[in-house]
Amino acid sequence: MPEKILDMKDLVKTYIMGDEEQVVLKGINLEINRGDFVSVLGPSGSGKTTLMNIIGCLDVPTSGAYHLSGELIRDLPESALSHIRNREIGFIFQQFQLLPRLSAQKNVELPLIYAGVPEKERHERSAAILERVGLGEKMKNRPNQLSGGQQQRVAIARALVTEPTILLADEPTGALDQKTGHQIMDLFHELYLEGKTIIMITHDEDVAKNGSRIVRIIDGNLSEGVYNV
């Protein structure tokens, strides 16, 4: 039986805008099993960024339940949420979010530093994961010495290095040309086949089709969509 690692039930998120209450997420129900590759597809303003922030424990729901690896997220203190973000979630951003003065290897080591991993182990793990994404010869390069695709591979390596429960990717090909974007999606497929759990946020239908499953979000409502396998 598949292992369920993410479970959202009747999840609502509202914001107060002046005198008005804006409901951004409207009773979201979502289950994701270990090893799924789920594309969350929606246009601008659909609520997908808010959903991503809640999945990544950058925000909490107003009501409803969100369990990650069996743990109820809503009532956790910030220190616990920070721990989850560091250990359970591997973030991959559209604009890479690399520190420009650090080498590729040092960028990849950052979450290990925050996790208190000893220096020798940091070097070994960051080197191994950069090899895995095809950048073994670029470890000492800074971001401005790398192409956009190489920078995104560094970002993927940084997300993988803590061996997180979920890889959470926000428009991972949005800053790349089409050819490079396809190469990054090929890498995602390899990671999926290795058993990684991937949640990818996108507005692009063609990019979404790379997932094994697509869920659609429109005006804060989520529909299950289809399986691509």
Say if residue 69's pLDDT is above 50. yes
Q: Name which residue leads in pLDDT, 40 or 20.
A: 40
The fold of the 35-58+85-227 domain, in CATH, is: Rossmann fold (3.40.50)
Tokens 């429109």 appear where? 218
Q: What is the pLDDT of residue 181?
A: 93
DSSP of 64-106, one letter per residue? EEEEETTEE-TT--HHHHHHHHHHTEEEE-TT----TTS-HHH
The average pLDDT across 117-131 equals 96
Q: Residue written as tokens 């998120």?
A: 13
Q: Give the per-residue pLDDT at 229.
A: 45
pLDDT at 127 over 60: yes
| 151-171 pLDDT, tens digit each | 999 999 999 999 999 999 999
Q: Are 181 and 212 in contact (CB under 8 A)?
A: no
Dump pLDDT digits (tens) for 41-50: 999 889 999 9
184 close to 173: Cβ distance less than 8 angstroms: yes
Q: Over the stretch 71-105, which tens digit does the pLDDT of each residue have?
A: 998 888 999 999 899 889 999 988 889 999 999 99
Distance, in Å, from the CA atom of 156 to the CA atom of 187, rounded to the nearest integer, reads: 9
Q: Which residue has the higher pLDDT, 229 or 188?
A: 188
pTM of the model: 0.92
Q: What is the mean pLDDT of residues 199-221?
A: 94
Judged on CB neighbours under 10 Å (0-12, 13-18, 19+), 87 is middle
Mean pLDDT over the full length of the chain: 92
- pLDDT value, residue 190: 94
Tokens of 211: 């997932």
Confirm if 153 and 134 have CB atoms less than 8 A apart.
Answer: yes
Residue 6: C-alpha distances to residues 66, 81, 88, 89, 185 (Å): 7, 15, 11, 12, 23
* Secondary structure of residue 148 in the 3-state scheme: helix
Structure tokens at 124: 């070994």
User: What's residue 227's pLDDT?
Assistant: 53
